[in-house]
Amino acid sequence: MTVEEQMEAAMRQAREVFPSTAQTSVKPQDVSRKIDASIKAEMAVFDSSGQRGRMMEQAYQYLLSVPPTSVEAERAFSAAGVLCTKLRSRLGDDTLDSLAFLRSYYQSAR
């Protein structure tokens, strides 16, 4: 099975499990019940066999990708603190983001 066929099959399966509420008369409560049922099924598989189901494994992999430190966040706040002073206290988020990017770009170019 090619990657394209696998993606189409996964999209077909997702449409069956979680149909769009705009295209059908499915109520949000029904979708919530289906999500709850799938979570319970995943937990039952884990309890009985000790193996993570497909969705639980995917969530586990996502959680492993979260860095355990806050170093990157501290650097970002430090850079924003340099740019956002009392004189520049009314800068918007987009402006601060652009200034931080430009500062980083020009510092790395040196």
Residue pair 52/60 in contact by the 8 Å Cβ criterion: yes
Distance CA 14, CA 19 (A): 7
Which stretches within 65-92 are classed as H helix? 71-83
- Reduced to 3 states (helix: H, G, I; strand: E, B; else coil), residue 39 is helix
The structure's pTM equals: 0.35
Q: What angle do CA 101, 106, 73 make, to 5 degrees?
A: 40
For residue 26, name the pLDDT band (cuts at 50, 70, 90).
low
Domain boundaries, the chain: 11-64, 71-109
For residue 34, name the pLDDT band (cuts at 50, 70, 90).
confident
Confidence (pLDDT) at 53: 80
CB atoms within 10 A of CB 53: 17
